[in-house]
């Protein structure tokens, strides 16, 4: 199963005016949103291909036992894939939240112990 790259690329929202406006306000958040949407699209596409392959394999089954074995293997792998994808999306969202918070925190903010007395 392929994973998305962690490249920091600037997404192009020129075709979507509302997204472009939101990207201007929060570029880090919009970039994270795009990465999550890209990953979701990749996963759905990959799972759809596996669904089609299952249907082809089911048409070639010659016995009920073969069909049940095929379905069992398919559903076991599907659960593993969905679990891995949920973990991947959770990690992406956690990183996006951390990055957005870093961006929102002023770089010139004073620390607790640097207040002059």
Q: Where are the domains of the chain?
A: 63-111
Q: Is 78 exposed, middle or buried (0-12, 13-18, 19+ CB in 10 A)?
A: middle
User: Which of 24-38, 55-69, 80-94 is predicted with the least confidence, judged by mean pLDDT?
Assistant: 24-38
* pLDDT band for position 1 (cuts 50, 70, 90): very low
Yes or no: say if 23 and 11 are a contact pair by the CB < 8 Å rule: yes
- Report pLDDT for 89: 95
Determine the angle formed by the axes of helices 27-59 and 64-104, rounding to 10 degrees: 180
């Amino acid at each position: 199963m392929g994973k998305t790259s962690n490249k920091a690329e600037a997404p192009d929202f020129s075709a979507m005016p509302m997204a472009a406006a939101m990207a201007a306000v929060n570029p880090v958040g919009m970039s994270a949103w795009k990465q999550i949407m890209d990953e979701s699209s990749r996963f759905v596409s990959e799972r759809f291909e596996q669904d089609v392959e299952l249907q082809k394999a089911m048409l070639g089954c010659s016995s009920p036992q073969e069909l049940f074995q095929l379905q069992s293997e398919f559903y076991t792998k599907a659960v593993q894939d969905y679990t891995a994808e949920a973990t991947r999306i959770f990690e992406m969202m956690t990183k996006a939240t951390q990055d957005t918070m870093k961006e929102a925190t002023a770089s010139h903010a004073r620390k607790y112990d640097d207040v002059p007395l």
